[in-house]
Chain A
Amino acid sequence: MSDRASSPWRPATEETPLVRRLLIGSVVVVLVLLLFAPLATVFTEALRKGWWQSVTSLAKPEAWSAIRLTVTVAAIAVPLNAIFGVAAAWFITKYDFRGKAFLITLIDLPFSVSPVVVGLCVVLTFGANTWVGGLLVDAGYPVVFALPGIVLASMIVTFPFVARELIPVMVEQGRAEEEAALTLGASGWHTFRTVTLPNIRWALLYGVLLCNARAMGEFGAVAVVSGKIRGQTATMPITIEMLYNEYMSVAAFTLAAVLAFLALLTLGLKTVLELRLADQLAATRHL
């Protein structure tokens, strides 16, 4: 009792100011060491030899082809995964069937598999020495060490992202609105476009953003299937690795800074979208 008498009054459901400051302080220290300092390092290392060096390193054909390849991969993998995510969320939330939990487990499977194992799986399915892969190589469409393999590996790794964001939102919103639209004579497609899509747009955008960030940054799975052919199958992360191993530190960190900037943009948009999503969920709940 004596310490309580000496310190100012405080509610019984709060920690003492000392404990509070200690907790905040230790959290900040760990985050600076592990999160903020590495992020800052990416930019300081990129600019170590001045702006001009960094900009010219980006203008090299190697960097350009890496950026083009990464954008191409994301432009194919992300829309396909978005279509899958919407279809899977619709299938799972609008119908009742047995084995739903098992289906969700299968969709989430890529989260618990190492990216390197994902790459290995692609090589074992479509590699030149497999049955399917051999046929495709003979036909002139190699998968491994070529664009299709990189797209497939990126798709597997980011497969659950959109579906995972959509399913909870669509469960929360239920089926009543769609059923009302259908009763009033709207077609299925019309109902989806004018009733469902506006309801899920923020969650969909959020899922697509996460999917895109991961697809552009995927390293382990792509490293296994890409073959790392300079100017052809080296994505941005793969090129970062090659430059770094060749002690081209400025070039490596400049390319890394481009991806880090993209990550920051993703986080910023995500924060905005979360606020929207929270507003929307609150609005539907109170209706």
Chain B
Amino acid sequence: MARPMFQRSPIPGLAISAGITLTLLSLVVLLPIGALLLKGAVAGPERMWTEVNTPRIWAALWLSFRLSLLAALFNLGFGVTLAWVLARYRFPGRRLIDAAVDLPFALPTAVAGIALTALYAPNGTFGMLARDLGLKIAYTPAGIFIALVFVGLPFVVRTVQPVIDEIEREVEEASATLGATRSHTIRRVILPMLAPAALTGFALSLARAVGEYGSVIFIAGNLPMISEIAPLLIVIKLEEYNYDGATAIGLAMLVISFALLLVINGVQVWSRRRIGYV
């Protein structure tokens, strides 16, 4: 072995801290997730595939994935803009907005769900405005999109904001001195510096949206094939005591979120290399 498993340390507490960490991690996280994998393995891939391979489940998985991607893309653009506004501009209410950005982290999803529904339902304040324009938001995929944007809102802002704070003004001045217009500087100098952090936030926002349940089910309408999200189908299968079916959808969602994280990690490594810093 080139390197020992553990390097000796004069600091005491190794046994107790390692013991607590590994015991709780195993009991609380690894055992339950292991049970899901085991259940899938025992039932067999063929059984899992037949459970997932129905039009209703494909429609739900595709809806969850598609709307999560759209919401995460919106949050990417909006998050970078908001981070820029908060970091660079001074205007009344800035501190209030800065504090409020974290609201979706702190507000329970069920509370957000019923509040968004009350607002965007056809008889709600914004729902009525939309109805006058001939649009229906709540109880359609558009409502799901709004709920997913809400839950993913803070991620990009919170990853990008510290990076903007670190940018040296000299870099922008150099770019301007060399004759670049402001928009050119932003596109070619600033945005590439923000890209890795923004992608991290995008990934977090996407992962959160794919699995989101509480804020979505109230506003979704939950019509099979149209506005039914994948997590809701797990709940429905469990209510029917169809554990194999629930396991199959759960595994499909795990595969989707890990695949997403892998792809985005790859993109991040690539963009970091291209920009030339870690």
Contacts and interface: CB of A to CB of B under 8 A. Distances in A.
Contacts of B49: none
Contacts of B250: 114, 116-117, 120-121
A237 B258 CA distance: 28
A137 to B, nearest CB: 16
Interface string A246-277: 00010011001001100110111011000000
Contacts of A112: 207, 211, 257-258, 261
B32 A38 contact: no
Contacts of B101: 35
Nearest to B97: A31
A204 interface: no
Contacts of A84: 20-21, 24-25, 28
A156 B85 contact: no
Contact of A96 (B9, B91, B105, B106): B9
A95 interface: yes
Contacts of B118: 41, 45, 249, 253
Contacts of B97: 27-28, 31
A139 interface: no
Contact of B29 (A95, A114, A159): A159
B10 A95 contact: no
Main secondary structure on chain B at its contact with chain A?
Answer: helix
Given A27-B82, A156-B29, A97 B6 contact: yes
A30 B234 CA distance: 32
Interface string B82-125: 10110001010100010111111111111110111011000001
A56 to B, nearest CB: 20
A210 B158 CA distance: 15
B17 A110 contact: no
A287 interface: no
Contacts of B16: 87
A130 B258 CA distance: 27
A231 interface: no
B11 A96 contact: no
Contacts of B191: none
Interface stretch (B52-60, B168-176, B192-200): B168-176
B228 interface: no
Interface string A224-250: 100000000000111011001000010
A147 B185 CA distance: 57
A12 B210 CA distance: 42
A38 B238 contact: no
B29 A240 contact: no
Contacts of B169: 13
Given A217-B109, A217-B110, A91 B257 contact: no
Interface residues of A, number: 99
B134 interface: no
Interface residues on B, range: 35 or more
A249 to B, nearest CB: 8
B243 interface: yes
Contact of B35 (A42, A80, A125, A236): A125
Interface in A179-215: 179, 182, 187-188, 191-192, 210, 213-214
Contacts of B89: 20, 23-24
Nearest to A155: B28
B7 interface: yes
Interface of A: 12-16, 20, 23-24, 26-28, 30-31, 33-39, 41-42, 45, 80, 83-84, 87-88, 90-92, 94-98, 103, 106-107, 109-118, 120-125, 127, 129-130, 152, 155-156, 159, 175, 178-179, 182, 187-188, 191-192, 210, 213-214, 216-220, 223-224, 236-238, 240-241, 244, 249, 252-253, 256, 259-260, 263-264, 266-268, 270-271
9 contacts: A36-B100, A37-B125, A103-B25, A107-B29, A114-B212, A115-B231, A219-B110, A220-B213, A263-B108
Ranked 8 nearest A-B pairs via Cβ? A114-B211, A217-B108, A188-B12, A12-B176, A219-B214, A121-B32, A220-B213, A87-B20
